[in-house]
Amino acid sequence: MTVQRRALLAEFVGRTDHPTVDALHADIGRAQAGLNRATVYRTLETLVELGLARRVAVHGAACRYDPCVERHHHLLCERCGAVEDVFDAALDALRLPRPASGFVARDFSVLFTGLCAGCAPRRTKAH
């Protein structure tokens, strides 16, 4: 438990915006002494291995990290790339497939795509 890990945790825990490494790096640097980007990568990776964080991979963009490890799913904005959480008990009831191929599924996650509030076309007041 080092100074830089404490700084990272302080900035990371509780966030719901699924920050990228760069976002975290910038925010930590803003708060106090700069912390090397490589260290952010290494520390986040360690957190994932320890089960204290999750990775949210997004095609063609920097990987995002999520401090929430409860079972939940994600909404990905197709326009701005924002990621939101979805907690839905109905989804948790999904049964795992047992294909003829012999694949044994152990877990799953659902990725919804669409437009976030900021990017969605307005209904009433025209944009």
Q: Give contact residues for DNA (rule: CB under 7 A).
A: 1-5, 20-22, 33-39, 41-43, 45-46, 60-63
Residues that bind a copy of itself (CB under 8 A): 55, 57-60, 63, 75, 77-78, 84, 86, 88, 90-91, 94-97, 99, 101-117, 120
Q: Choose among a copy of itself, DNA, none what residue 31 binds, the Cβ cut-off being 5 to 8 Å by kind.
A: none
The minimum distance between CB 18 and DNA, in angstroms, equals 12
DSSP codes, 22-77? HHHHHHHHHHSS---HHHHHHHHHHHHHTTS-EEE--TTS--EEES--SS-EEEEE
Phi, psi of 22 (to 5 degrees): -65, -40
The minimum distance between CB 4 and a copy of itself, in angstroms, equals 23
Between 14 and 102, CB nearer to a copy of itself = 102
Which amino acid does the sequence have at 100? A
SS3 85: strand
